[in-house]
Each structure stands twice: as C-alpha cells, then as structure tokens.
Amino acid sequence: MLKGKPLVSIVSAGLSKFGKLEGLYAREIFAQAAKEAFDRCPNLDPKKEIQALFVGHMGESYEHQGHTGSTVADWAGLLHIPAIRTEAACASSAAALRAGIFAVLSGLFDVVMVGGVEKMTHRTTSEVTEFLAMASDFPFEQWHGITFPGLFALMATAHMHKYGTTEEQLAMVAVKNHHNGSLNPKAHMQKEVTLEKALSSRFIAWPLKLYDCSLITDGASCLIITKPEIAKKYTDLPIHIIGSGQASDSIGMYERESLTSLTAAKISAKQAYEMAGVKPEGIDVAEVHDCFTIAEIIAYEDLGFCKPGEGGQLIERGETKLDGRLPVNTSGGLKSKGHPVGATGTAQAYEIYLQLTEQADRRQVKDAKIGLAHNVGGSGATAAVHIFRRE
Ligand SMILES: CC(C)(COP(=O)(O)OP(=O)(O)OC[C@H]1O[C@@H](n2cnc3c(N)ncnc32)[C@H](O)[C@@H]1OP(=O)(O)O)[C@@H](O)C(=O)NCCC(=O)NCCS
C-alpha cells in the first residue's frame, strides 16, 4: 500500500448532543446523529446509497437491549441494509470505523455508515461502574472489586513513581479539556474549571479525583465514508483517512509489559503513522482517549508527541492547549464533552472532521491539515489510531 494513499474518504459526519438525554432510547439518539450526517450531505440519498452500517455499542446491560445493528439501522431510516454491531469496550466505534474501512476497501461497498452509541445516565453510578468493569478481567480484576477508576489510578501512581508526574499536571489536563468543552455546544459539561477546584475535588480512587474522571454520558456519533474516487460526488471537501492501526493486549493489567504505557496504543500508532507516511511532528490536531487525566498524559507519550515520561511536562508547558503547538482534545475530550463509551471513537473522528473542514467554530485550530484520533478500549486491551488528511 502506498504511504499516504487515502483508504476511504469521509463525506459527512453527525453527532447527537452529548449529556443526560432523559427520556430517549439509544436508537433515538443514534437517529439524531444520523440526521445531522444526512442534512450535511444533501447530494447523498441515504436510503438508496448507504449500503451497510457498522455501529459500536458496548453494553446491552444499560437498556436491556442487544441487537444494536438492526435496531439503530431501523431508527436511522436505513432498513434493510446489512447492519453489524462491533464491540471493543470503549473502542467499540473505532472498531466500527475499521470494519467500515475493510468493507469499502474490499470492494464490496462504495458508501457505508459507521458510528456508535451508548445510553448510560438513566442507570445509577454503581450500576454503570459495574457494567463498565465487565470490560476488565473477570477472575483477577472484577471479582476482586477493582473498577476502572481503580485501574487507571494504578497507572497514575506508577507514572508518578517512575517519572515524577504530579497531581497538578493531571489536573491541568482537566482544566484544558474543560476549557475546550466550554466552547463546544454539544459537550456534556460546558463549564470551565480552575486548577484549584480540580485539585480540591473529592477523591474517587487515589490519586484520581472527580475532575480526573471522564463523565458518564449519553450520546451517538457517525460518519459516512466512501471509496475515495467517488467522494467528490458528495462533497467538495472530503477528509481522507490515510492511516489506520489497531492492536490488542492482555485483558488483565497484571499481564502487561508496562503500567505506564499502553503497548496496544504504541503498536496502533506505529501502524497508522507508517501507513500514512506521517510522523508525530506532522500532526496538527489530535483527539486522544482521556477517560482519566493520566490516560491523556500516557497517550502523549505512546503517540510520540513527547518522550516517555515527559507527558506531564508537555501539558505543563501548554503545548497541547487550543493555542499550543499541538492542540489535543479540542472537543473537550471524554473529560468534558463526555464519554458515551460506544460512541466515543467516531465522536473523536467527528471532531477531527470538523477541524479539518474548518467547521469547529470557536475552537477551530488554524490551518489544520492532518489530524489523529486515538481510542482505547478498557484499560488498554484494545487501542486504535486513525490519521486523517484534508485534500
Ligand atoms: C467520577 C464518577 C464516579 C462521579 O460519579 P458520582 O459520584 O455518582 O457523581 P454524580 O453523578 O452524583 O454527580 C455529582 C456532581 O459531580 C458532577 N460530576 C459527575 N461526574 C463528574 C466528572 N467525571 N467530572 C466532573 N464533574 C462530575 C455532576 O455533574 C454533579 O454535579 P452537580 O452536583 O453540580 O450537579 C463518575 O463520573 C464516573 O464513574 N466516571 C468515570 C466513568 C468511567 O469509568 N468511564 C469508563 C472509562 S474506561
């Protein structure tokens, strides 16, 4: 494969409002995201031209509803196309995007919808925590009572111990992402937070506090992707996906080679960079998986935005702020935009699509041409990295 050759092109994208969407089922939320994608692309007749749907959805426990592919296809007005659910914990919709890329590259389909959805907020925090924990190892993690805040707290303490990363540096990630989220009308929590407030918030799993955690959120996201050769039929400004990587790791954190880095993310990034013919220095804007603030710091290092152990310094120097050298999580990230787990992967791609097509309004990054999305499943047993380029 030629380096930098478009694999597929994004011709439209949609995102529901993220937040507490009371009284709505996941299928209705997905329909909102699909409608935005259809409205944005008047040259496309969805019913006639979309040939398949891949949708990321983590858990049937939230709504006691499985069979998500067909359910959301119906509500998006896409009956009777093949509709397939992908599940890879919090990376479920990056997996849907990969499946869509494979489907188009195979030559079987020209136009495909990929997306994701999760409805979480009607359940109590303890129920959600238990459902989420199913994406960790049952016999040696869940059974002993550890939950995701606890697992990421282990990574945080290991990172602090090994590299001297501080609680202040973790809180700076929250301050940055809440600032970006305050500029995003679709974000769950559109409010700034001060360093003092983040640092004095209650402990969830030491050293992680309330403001180190992502939000429990309802939401959906989708993209319409096509063969690159036909993209101009639908839009003057297609965004090409030029790199795609995905890898897995042991489900149990105790089996991993490191607590301060995610091997699956490093492998995915290497694959995506090589395919795209792009180096970390070539990225203009990135959405990374900040399910906890420590995860964003580790992502900087795994993606090569800085050396191992220097993620804390990168945030401290302000390099990943909206006006910094490499703006990260301009959408507000999982921290402030929210984390409806199944929807997160394609919601990250949606933000990159907005940035590269200059539709990001008050959070627009000037002259952004190449973007990256980094999505992690669970505590790192899945990771996927995609690289996007405008023409
Ligand atoms: C951190 C967490 C436990 C807080 O849940 P909670 O204690 O039940 O909090 P509540 O929902 O009762 O909310 C209490 C207040 O905190 C706020 N809040 C809740 N979660 C928040 C978060 N993550 N960041 C900032 N504020 C938050 C609420 O808006 C509410 O504010 P208000 O009193 O002004 O209305 C929960 O958000 C959580 O589990 N997050 C992580 C989700 C996760 O693990 N995702 C998968 C990652 S792999």
Quote the pTM value.
0.98
The pLDDT score that the predictor gives to residue 1 is 60
Could you give all domains of the chain from N- to C-terminal order, each with its CATH number?
8-123+217-239 (3.40.47.10), 144-214+242-390 (3.40.47.10)
Q: 20 CA distance to ligand 1 centroid (A)?
A: 12
Interval 210-261: pLDDT, tens: 999 999 999 999 999 999 999 999 999 999 999 999 999 999 999 999 999 9
DSSP assigned state of 40:
T
Interval 7-28: pLDDT, tens: 999 999 999 999 999 999 999 9
Determine the average pLDDT of the residues in 368-372: 98
Determine the average pLDDT of the residues in 343-372: 98
Q: 289 CA distance to ligand 1 centroid (A)?
A: 17
Please give the full DSSP string across 292-327, using - where no structure is assigned.
BHHHHHHHHHHTTSS-TT-HHHHHHTTTTSTTSSS-
> Long-range contacts made by residues 39-43, C-beta under 8 angstroms, separation at least 24?
40/12, 40/13, 40/14, 41/11, 41/12, 41/224, 41/234, 41/235, 43/233, 43/234, 43/235
Determine the average pLDDT of the residues in 323-331: 98
Place of tokens 């995201």: 33
326, pLDDT greater than 70: yes
Name 212's bridge partners.
none
Q: Enter the tokens of residue 249.
A: 């790791």
Among 178, 188, 289, 339, the active-site one is 339
**Ligand 1 pocket residue status of 147, Cβ below 6 Å:** no
The pLDDT score that the predictor gives to residue 11 is 98
- When the pLDDT of each residue in the chain is averaged and rounded to a whole number, the result is 98
Give catalytic status of residue 222 as yes or no. no
3, pLDDT greater than 90: no
Q: Kindly compute the dihedral angle of the four CA atoms of residues 261, 8, 347, 272, in this order, to the nearest 10 degrees.
A: 10
2, pLDDT greater than 70: no
Name 372's bridge partners.
286, 387
Interval 192-209: pLDDT, tens: 999 999 999 999 999 999
Give catalytic status of residue 90 as yes or no. yes
Determine the average pLDDT of the residues in 353-361: 98
347, pLDDT greater than 80: yes
Interval 132-187: pLDDT, tens: 999 999 999 999 999 999 999 999 999 999 999 999 999 999 999 999 999 999 99
CA-nearest residue for atom 12, ligand 1, is: 125
Interval 298-309: pLDDT, tens: 999 999 999 999
